[in-house]
Structures are given as C-alpha cells and as structure tokens.
Amino acid sequence: MGRRVKPAPIGVYDSGFGGLTVLRELSRALPRAEFVYLGDAGRAPYGGRDADVILSLAEQCVERLFSEGCRVVVVACHTVSSVALRHLQARYTGPGQERAVLGVTIPAAELAVDHVSTRGGRIAFIATARTVASGTFTTECHKLAPVAVVERAAPLLAPIVEEGWETSDVARLAVRRYLDGLDAQVVVLGCTHFPLLREAFEAATDCPVLDPAPFVAARLVDWLTRHPDFTVAEGEPRFLSTGDPDAFATHGSRFLGAPVTTVQHVAETAGRLEPAARVVPRGQVVRA
C-alpha cells in the first residue's frame, strides 16, 4: 500500500451540462463526498470537434480540477472518454503522481455486455458524432466478449436537450428517427445529455434503455474501495464553468435534478483555465 494522502475532493469534468447527470448518481452513491464539477459550457459542444482540439481542451479542464485540489477526476463525457481518456491517463497519472483519471465509456461497455450476456441480442449505442467516429465503445465491448454492436451518431439530440425541449414533439420525433431501422435488443445512452431524453427513447423502442451513470457511480465506489490511498474529502459540491455562471446554474439544475449553487467562472488565459470575472464582450474585441 502506498502513502495515504490528504483527503481530496473528486473532480467531475464534462464539456458542458451533461456530466451533471453523472454527478447526480455519484452524489447518491457517495452522499458525503465533496465534488468539484467543471462544465466547459463556454466552449461546447465537443461532439463535432477534431481530436487535437478535444485533447487540448481536456488537458486544460483536468489541470484546472487538479489545481482545485482533486486527485481523482471522472471524465463524465463520452466524447472525451472515447477520444482523450488514454492520453489524459498517460499524461497525468502513474507511479508517484497520486492522481487518477477515470471515464464513462468503459463502464458503459461493461454494463451493455453484461446485459446481452445474460439476455442475448445486439447492442445499439447512440452518441455524438465524435464518440461514434472513435469506435471506442465497440472496441471496449469486444475486449469483454464477442458481442454484436451497432453505433449510431445522433448529433441533434444534445442541442435539443440544451434548449430544454426534451419532452417536446421535436425530441420524440428526433429520437424515433435516430432509432429507426436499428436491429438491436438493448439501447445504450452514449451521451450524458441523453438521460433527460429517456422518456422519448422508451417511447420509441421496446428495447431496454440503459443509462450508464448509475453503473459509473458503482464502479467509482468499487475503485475507491480498491485504492484506499485516495481518501475522499467531505463537503458540499462546487461548480466551475467556462460559460455564463448564471445560465449554467439555471440550466444545470435540470440535469442535476437539484439546485446548482454558486458557479465560479473560469476562462482560458495563456493556455490555462483560471478563475475570472464573467465579462460579456460587446462589439469588436482586440486581444492584448
């Protein structure tokens, strides 16, 4: 066993709001733990960005959470987990660093494979375009078992949720169109926005619809049990956002299922995210 370090908060990172659905489950599983949530809402969405941009944004966000005292960071975004998780782990974790970076896509694969292993059938994974293009979910499933997997990009769904239209006819129609023609026996929600669309998904298919977030939380509890050196601080959640703090608090409450308290604005300065006052520029902007 290594040296026991000072109790630290758990960081949760997402490109915007969706990771709050994961934080909701993490908080249920670890009700006394202190979480620091960073939503990169000012630079979202990530789903259409190329890999190099995602790596750079992910580095800045994870480094900010380390600066906030976190030693464990949960990447609560399938796009980042699918594209950048291995990079983040190679860069920031390892012997002597007393840090860990965990994702959501591998637990999603474990949950899906366990489901079809006991019930049979093909897995359908619905996610952002960048997540699907990575092929990571299928790769992780095939590491576990020779299961059949189909991945489908659904780029309109996250913006629909961002607009607050998750219970609208638009949402139901879009989900139905994305699921049309899928020959699968289980549907996995491969974007952390999609739990807000669960009702629309369940109306559009007779298949079980799996939200990986509760299983992600269970896996984190198991990981902490197996790594007792990573002691967790107790306290209330803290929130950081690169977007407008007031808007983040308002919209974030829908995802978290509880009020989002004071939000600290952070902004990119010389390649790093630093606390900053929220200033909305007007007219032409000239950078010094």
pLDDT one digit per residue (tens) for the chain, 288 residues = 455 568 999 999 999 999 999 999 999 999 999 999 999 999 988 877 888 999 999 999 999 999 999 999 999 999 999 999 999 999 999 887 889 999 999 999 999 999 999 888 999 999 999 999 999 999 999 999 999 999 999 999 999 999 999 999 999 999 999 999 998 999 999 999 999 999 999 999 999 999 999 999 999 999 999 999 999 999 999 999 999 999 999 999 999 999 998 899 999 998 999 999 876 677 887 876
Q: Do the bridges between strand 272-275 and strand 263-269 make them parallel or antiparallel, or are there none, so unpaired?
A: antiparallel
Residue of 70, 77, 141, 207 marked active site: 77
Give the three-class secondary structure for 141.
Answer: helix
d(CA 47, CA 80): 9
Query: Does domain 10-103+215-275 fall into CATH 3.40.50.1860?
Result: yes
Question: Catalytic: which of 61, 70, 141, 191?
Answer: 191
Question: Nearest to residue 209, comparing CAs of 131, 112, 130?
Answer: 112
CATH number for 105-211: choose from 1.10.10.60, 3.40.50.1860, 3.30.310.50, 3.30.300.130.
Answer: 3.40.50.1860
Q: In the annotation, is 61 catalytic?
A: no
Dihedral sign, Cα of residue 266, residue 268, residue 272, residue 277: negative
Instruction: Indicate if 191 belongs to the active site.
Output: yes
pTM for the model stands at 0.94
Residues of the chain with CATH 3.40.50.1860: 10-103+215-275, 105-211
